[in-house]
Structure 1
């Protein structure tokens, strides 16, 4: 299974090198850079120290949307204050979620934001799950390289051999479920409830395969019932 790490607009070459070194140490190999050329600076390779092949093979993108275009499930790191109404997972909870998701999706990604300002709200809306590192104090915070190391260490189990699974689910199942919920909220005239919409959108990302399939069945029955009522059927 593919699992790229995505750095959005990193400003310091040293942080990119530190991220590459942390990735190699924990068994990750695919790095994507969004809207930055800092990786080209000599300092990135110097700090990478033995992980130069990750820099040699990294991919660059103009936008986060482009970097996520071929990814089935994504997680973004952010400060709790940026999370709005959304569920906020610890690194350990992320590990649990991804160990389950890898049984039925083909690709996952972990997204890190800018050193000074993190990810924008628009960028956060593009991912499936938010996470952050709990700290005893708000300051000093971890720098980008340290944050990558924490998550690579926590998620190293994802690089172990996966036991065979009896059935693979449709990788687009969660996306389709979100769309069905959005249409239902519009149909029920409650789409303006931002808190509810955000809560549903985020909780969908936590569903296991069987829960997702069951909700699709439930929504199908609800949609059919609404259609029958609107057409006057009993």
Structure 2
């Protein structure tokens, strides 16, 4: 599994440099940045301390949707209190979720939001699963670089495990399942029920491979009939 770290509109070059340094320390290499050129500023390289190669190889995108093109499984970081999104896991629980997908998801992304406002609801809708770091209520935020380090440290051992080639499933399995589910909602004329659609999409994000295969089979039978 290839895990991409995605930073959405980071404002401070120092934070981007700290994120790159955290990635380098823990063995991650792929950094994608949305709607920002902060990584090009000298301060980013000063803070990166030996992780300049990660900054030099940054891929930039005008939107999060484009940054996630080709990604099979997306995890977005957010504060737990964010409105209608309920399927949430801690960094430790995320390790278990990714471990199960290690042999059937080829491209995954971990998305971090803006320093001041995080991710919008529209951006959160692009995720398959939400995660956040439990914190003391009196100080409910982490510096962007610190947050990246928490997750890179937690996931480093997991990402070092190589999946056996014979066990890798077709790419895009989860995305295809979400598209089939949307078609079913349209056929049932309930696609306008945003609460139902959100619930369904979020539940799909926590399914294991065996469950996705069975659900694909069920949806196929429904479509055929």
TM, length-normalised to structure 2? 0.93
- Larger CA Rg, structure 1 vs 2: 1
1:166 positional shift = 4.0
Aligned to 2:167, what secondary structure does the other structure show? coil
1:188 counterpart residue number: 188
Given that 2:102 and 2:163 are in contact with CA atoms closer than 8 Å, whether structure 1 keeps it comes out as no
Aligned to 1:14, what secondary structure does the other structure show? helix
Change (3 A) 1:164 1:24: same
Task: Determine whether 1:11 maps to 2:22.
Answer: no
Change (3 A) 1:134 1:112: same
Stretch of structure 1 that moved more, 147-156 or 75-84: 75-84
Given that 2:72 and 2:173 are in contact with CA atoms closer than 8 Å, whether structure 1 keeps it comes out as no
1:143 counterpart residue number: 143
Change (3 A) 1:138 1:126: farther
2:96 counterpart residue number: 96
2:67 counterpart residue number: 67
1:207 counterpart residue number: 207
Given that 1:86 and 1:198 are in contact with CA atoms closer than 8 Å, whether structure 2 keeps it comes out as no
2:109 counterpart residue number: 109
Aligned to 1:55, what secondary structure does the other structure show? helix
Given that 1:8 and 1:64 are in contact with CA atoms closer than 8 Å, whether structure 2 keeps it comes out as yes
- Which ranges in structure 1 are unaligned for 5 or more consecutive residues? 226-234
**1:73-111 Cα deviation digits (max 9, x unpaired):** 111111123251431111112111112212112211111
Change (3 A) 1:165 1:100: farther
Aligned to 1:3, what secondary structure does the other structure show? strand
1:207 positional shift = 1.4
Given that 2:76 and 2:111 are in contact with CA atoms closer than 8 Å, whether structure 1 keeps it comes out as yes
TM, length-normalised to structure 1? 0.90
**1:98-146 Cα deviation digits (max 9, x unpaired):** 1221211221111111000111111111222111111121525211011
Aligned to 1:60, what secondary structure does the other structure show? strand
Residues in 1 aligned to 2:110 and 2:181: alpha-carbon distance in whole angstroms: 25
Residues in 1 aligned to 2:75 and 2:208: alpha-carbon distance in whole angstroms: 16
Aligned length: 225
**1:161-218 Cα deviation digits (max 9, x unpaired):** 3252643222221112112222222322333332221111011111111111111111
